[in-house]
Amino acid sequence: MFLSADIAKLLLRLSVGIMMFFHGIEKIIHGISGVKQLTLNAGLPEFLAYGVYIGEVVVPIFIILGLYARVASVFLALNMLMAIFLAYRGSLFALGEHGAPVIELPFFYLVLSIAIFLLGSGKYSVNSK
C-alpha cells in the first residue's frame, strides 16, 4: 500500500520536473526576451526576469531528484504565480481557442507544485522523508 504512494510521488515529481525542465531548456536555447518584456510591462525591474532560469531549470532538477523537493516546489509555485501575473493579467478568466482557460498550463503546474509540497518527495528521492 505505502509502496504505491511512494511510486505515485515519484511519478508526480518526475512528470512535473521533466516537463518544466523542457520549458527551461527552451529559455536557455532561445533566451528570455519575452519574459523580460513582460516583466518591464508590469513595471518590474528587468533583472527579475532572470529568475525564470531558477524556476524552470534549477528547481525542476531538485524536484526530479527529490532533493529538498518541498522547498523546490514552493519556488516552482512562486514561479507559476509570477507567470500567471505577468502573462495573463486581465485575462485570468478568458477561454482559449479550444475552450480551456488561457491560464490552464501555469495553473496546472501551480497546483501540482502545491501537491508536491504537501506530499513530500517520498521514498524514491535523494533525501527521502
Question: Phi then psi for 68, rounded to 5 degrees?
Answer: 50, 45
Summarised one tens digit per residue, pLDDT across range 82-113 is 999 999 887 777 888 888 888 899 999 999 99
In the predicted structure, residue 72 carries a pLDDT above the cut 70:
yes
Q: Domain residues of the chain, as ranges? A: 2-119
Q: Find out whether 46 and 79 touch, Cβ atoms under 8 Å.
A: no
Task: State the cell numbers at 98.
Answer: 479550444
Instruction: Specify the pLDDT at position 21.
Output: 98
Instruction: Specify the pLDDT at position 26.
Output: 97
Instruction: Specify the pLDDT at position 98.
Output: 86
Instruction: Specify the pLDDT at position 91.
Output: 77
Instruction: Specify the pLDDT at position 95.
Output: 85
Task: State the cell numbers at 44.
Answer: 518590474
Task: State the cell numbers at 60.
Answer: 525542476
Task: State the cell numbers at 46.
Answer: 528587468
Summarised one tens digit per residue, pLDDT across range 12-51 is 999 999 999 999 999 999 999 999 999 999 999 999 999 9
In the predicted structure, residue 121 carries a pLDDT above the cut 90:
yes
Q: What is the pTM of this model?
A: 0.91
Judged on CB neighbours under 10 Å (0-12, 13-18, 19+), 45 is exposed
3-state DSSP assignment of residue 25:
helix
What one-character DSSP code corresponds to residue 47?
G
